C-alpha cells in the first residue's frame, strides 16, 4: 500500500493541488479577519464561540470545493491517460481506490488543520476571552474531518467513475450550496443532506435579540445521532463506491 | 509445445448480444499469435477478459496452465505485460517518471527502466513530458511499460493503431525481436491482415465474436494455393465431362474453377473438349489472395 500511496504523490507532481488548499485557506483567513474586525472587546469575550459557530458555516462551501477539486485532480490524470486498465493489471483495484483516498485525505486533513491554526492564531492575537476551549477545538477538528472525508469519499467515487470531471465538480458545488442553505431548514431535514453535517455537528448555538440586535452564543451538546449518521454515510459511500469501482469494466 | 493461453467457451454477452461467443483460443509458448478481425469483432473484449479487465459471461481462461479466477488473477498477471487499445500514460510526467510509477507498483528492479527505454529506443526522450510525445513515442512508451517486468507473455492490442508507415515498421521490428531476445510469447491483435501476415507465426481470426480460424500462418497461406479458371463455349457440357473424369469444379461467373494439375492433364482436357466441339476460350492460372481468404472467413471488407 505504501508504494501505491507513494506513486499517488508522484502523480501529483506539478498539478498544483496544494495551491487550491492554500487559496481556500487564505479565503477562510480573510473572511475570519473581516468577520472579527467589527467586533468590540465585549464581543471578543465570546470570540472562540463566534469562530466555532462561523467556521462550520463557511465550511459548508469551502470544504466541498476543496474535496471536489482534489478528488478531480487526482482522478482526471487516470482518465486522460487511460491508466486504470494498466494499473488494474498490476495492483488490486481496491488498493488503487484506497491509495487515492488516503492521499486525498491528507489534503483534507491539512485544510482542517489550517482552519484550526487560523482560529487558534487569531484567538491568541486578538486575546479572546476565557480559557482556550481545547476540547471543543479538538472536537471541531474531528467533526470537520469526518464530514470532509465523507464528502471527499463521495467526490472520489464520482471522479473515478465518471470521466467527464465537470460532473463531480458541479455536484460538489451544488452540494456545498445546498448544505449552506439547509442550515435554514429543520435539523431533521439537514441530516438527510451530506453537505449539511458541518452545521449538524456544530457545537455552538446563537441567540439573536431582535430588539437590541445583539447576538449571544452558547455551547450546545454534541449531536451524537448526527455523528452516528455521518459515520454510517461514510461507510456506505466508501463501501458502495469502492465496489462500483472494482466491478466496473475498463 | 505447451499453450501459454487457453480459453474454453469464452463468451461475453451484453444484454442479448454476444460480443464474444464460445472462443477457444490456444496460444503456444514462444509464438507470435496474431489475433485478427475487423473492427468491433471482439478482439479487445477477448484480450480484456484474459487480463481480467472484463468479466466473462461464460467460459474458462487458463494462463500458464492455471485456471484464472479473481483470486489468482494478479498473481498470474505478474508474468504478463499488456498494452490494450491505446498506451496508458501520465501526460504531465516524463517518460522516465511514468515508467517509475509502473516499475514501483510492479516491484521490479529500478534498472529495468533504463533497459526497457533502450529496447524501445526512448532513452533520449526519457526526460521529456509524455504530453509532448508523438503518438509513436507514446506507443513505444506503452510497450516499455508492458516490458518492465520482462514478462513471459505480452498482450498487445492494436499496437500500431494510428502510427505512420515508419512507426508501424519500427513497432513490427520491435515485436518480432521479443520472442528471439527474451523468449516472450506475444499476442498481438490487429484489423490489418498485412500486419499480422508479416508478424505472426500463428493466427486466430475472429468474426462477430466467433473464432472462425485458428492455426499456423503457413496453413492459412495453403488456402491460397493456385487453381485454374476455365471458360468454354459450353460450360454445362464441360461440367458433366469434368465430373465424369473425376475432376472437381466450381462454377464462378462464366468460369469453371478446377484444381491445379499437370500440363499433360490440361492438354488432354483441351483435346477432348475440342473433339466434342466445345471451344476452349480461356484458361487462366489464379491464386486466392490472403485478403480473399480473410474476406471469406470474416465476411467483411478487409481493412487494408
Domain total of chain A? 1
Residues B96 and A71: their CA atoms lie apart, in Å, by 25
- Tens of pLDDT, residues A200-210: 999 888 888 77
**What pLDDT, on the 0 to 100 scale, is given for residue B301?**
46
**What pLDDT, on the 0 to 100 scale, is given for residue B300?**
58
Q: Is the pLDDT of residue B1 over 80?
A: no
- Tens of pLDDT, residues A28-42: 999 988 888 877 777
Q: Is the dihedral of CA A114, A115, A119, A120 positive or negative?
A: negative
**What's the average model confidence in pLDDT over B73-96?**
92
Note whether B106 contacts A90, CB cutoff 8 Å. Answer: yes
Chain A CB contacts of B52 under 8 Å are: 88-89
Structural domains of chain B sorted by starting position, each given as residue range(s) with its CATH number in brackets: 3-79+151-222 (3.40.50.300), 226-287 (3.30.70.2040)
Dig out the grid coordinates for B48 from the structure. 480484456
pTM above 0.80, yes or no: yes
**What pLDDT, on the 0 to 100 scale, is given for residue B304?**
37
Note whether A83 contacts B74, CB cutoff 8 Å. Answer: no
Average pLDDT, chain B: 88
Interface of A with B (CB under 8 A): 3-4, 6-7, 10-11, 13-15, 77, 80-92, 249-250
Quick check: B24 contacting A, CB < 8 Å?
A: no
Label residues B108-137 b or e (16+ Cβ within 10 Å = b).
beeebbeebbebbebbebbeebbeebeebb
Block residue for cell numbers 492575537: A125
**What's the average model confidence in pLDDT over B281-295?**
79
**What pLDDT, on the 0 to 100 scale, is given for residue B291?**
73
Chain B CB contacts of A83 under 8 Å are: 88-90
**What's the average model confidence in pLDDT over A49-77?**
93
Q: Specify the higher pLDDT residue, B153 or B265.
A: B153
Residues A187 and A52: their CA atoms lie apart, in Å, by 18
**What's the average model confidence in pLDDT over A150-173?**
96
- Tens of pLDDT, residues B89-128: 999 999 999 999 999 999 999 999 999 999 888 999 999 9
**In which domain, by residue range, is A189 found?**
2-247
Assign B303 a pLDDT band (cuts: 50, 70, 90): very low
Nearest CA in chain B to A4: B105
Amino acid at each position: 500500500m505504501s508504494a501505491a500511496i507513494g506513486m499517488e504523490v508522484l502523480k501529483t507532481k506539478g498539478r498544483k493541488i496544494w495551491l487550491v488548499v492554500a487559496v481556500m485557506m487564505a479565503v477562510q483567513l480573510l473572511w475570519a479577519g473581516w468577520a472579527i474586525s467589527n467586533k468590540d472587546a465585549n464581543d471578543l469575550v465570546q470570540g472562540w464561540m463566534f469562530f466555532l459557530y462561523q467556521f462550520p458555516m463557511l465550511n459548508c462551501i469551502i470544504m466541498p470545493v476543496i474535496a471536489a477539486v482534489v478528488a478531480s485532480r487526482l482522478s482526471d490524470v487516470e482518465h486522460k491517460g487511460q491508466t486504470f486498465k494498466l494499473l488494474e493489471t498490476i495492483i488490486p483495484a481496491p488498493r488503487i481506490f484506497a491509495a487515492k483516498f488516503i492521499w486525498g485525505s491528507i489534503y483534507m486533513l491539512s485544510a482542517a488543520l489550517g482552519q484550526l491554526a487560523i482560529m487558534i492564531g487569531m484567538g491568541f492575537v486578538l486575546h479572546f476571552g476565557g480559557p482556550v476551549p481545547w476540547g471543543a477545538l479538538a472536537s471541531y477538528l474531528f467533526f470537520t474531518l469526518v464530514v470532509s472525508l465523507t464528502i471527499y469519499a463521495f467526490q472520489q467515487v464520482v471522479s473515478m467513475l465518471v470521466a467527464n470531471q465537470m460532473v463531480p465538480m458541479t455536484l460538489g458545488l451544488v452540494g456545498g450550496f445546498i448544505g449552506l442553505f439547509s442550515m435554514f431548514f429543520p435539523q431533521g431535514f439537514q441530516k438527510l443532506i451530506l453537505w449539511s453535517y458541518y452545521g449538524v455537528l456544530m457545537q455552538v448555538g446563537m441567540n439573536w435579540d431582535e430588539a437590541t440586535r445583539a447576538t449571544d452564543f452558547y455551547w450546545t451538546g454534541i449531536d451524537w445521532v448526527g455523528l452516528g449518521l455521518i459515520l454510517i454515510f461514510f461507510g456506505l459511500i466508501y463501501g458502495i463506491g469502492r465496489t462500483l469501482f472494482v466491478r466496473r469494466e475498463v | 509445445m505447451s499453450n501459454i493461453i487457453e480459453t474454453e467457451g469464452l463468451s461475453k454477452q451484453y444484454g442479448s448480444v454476444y460480443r464474444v461467443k464460445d472462443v477457444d483460443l490456444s496460444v503456444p509458448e514462444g509464438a507470435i499469435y496474431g489475433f485478427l478481425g475487423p473492427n468491433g469483432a471482439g478482439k479487445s473484449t477477448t484480450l480484456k477478459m484474459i487480463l481480467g479487465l472484463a468479466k466473462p459471461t461464460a467460459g474458462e481462461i487458463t494462463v500458464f496452465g492455471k485456471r484464472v479466477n479473481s483470486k489468482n488473477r494478479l498473481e498470474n498477471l505478474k508474468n504478463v505485460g499488456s498494452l490494450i487499445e491505446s498506451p496508458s500514460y501520465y501526460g504531465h510526467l516524463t517518460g522516465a517518471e511514468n515508467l517509475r510509477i509502473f516499475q514501483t507498483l510492479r516491484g521490479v528492479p529500478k534498472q529495468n527502466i533504463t533497459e526497457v527505454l533502450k529496447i524501445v529506443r526512448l532513452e533520449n526522450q526519457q526526460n521529456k513530458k509524455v504530453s509532448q510525445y508523438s503518438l509513436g513515442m507514446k506507443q513505444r512508451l506503452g510497450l516499455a511499460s508492458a516490458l518492465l517486468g520482462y514478462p513471459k507473455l505480452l498482450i498487445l492490442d492494436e499496437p500500431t493503431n494510428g502510427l505512420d508507415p515508419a512507426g508501424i515498421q519500427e513497432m513490427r521490428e520491435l515485436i518480432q525481436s521479443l520472442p528471439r531476445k527474451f523468449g516472450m510469447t506475444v499476442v498481438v491483435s490487429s484489423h490489418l491482415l498485412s500486419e499480422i501476415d508479416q508478424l505472426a507465426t500463428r493466427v486466430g481470426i475472429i468474426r462477430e465474436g466467433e473464432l472462425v480460424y485458428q492455426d499456423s500462418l503457413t496453413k492459412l497461406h495453403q488456402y491460397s494455393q493456385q487453381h485454374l479458371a476455365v471458360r468454354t463455349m459450353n460450360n454445362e457440357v464441360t461440367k458433366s465431362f469434368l465430373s465424369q473424369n473425376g475432376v472437381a469444379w466450381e462454377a464462378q461467373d462464366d468460369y469453371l474453377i478446377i484444381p491445379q494439375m499437370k500440363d499433360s492433364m490440361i492438354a488432354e482436357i483441351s483435346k477432348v473438349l475440342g473433339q466434342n466441339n466445345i471451344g476452349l476460350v480461356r484458361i487462366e492460372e489464379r491464386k486466392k489472395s490472403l485478403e480473399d481468404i480473410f474476406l471469406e472467413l470474416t465476411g467483411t471488407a478487409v481493412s487494408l
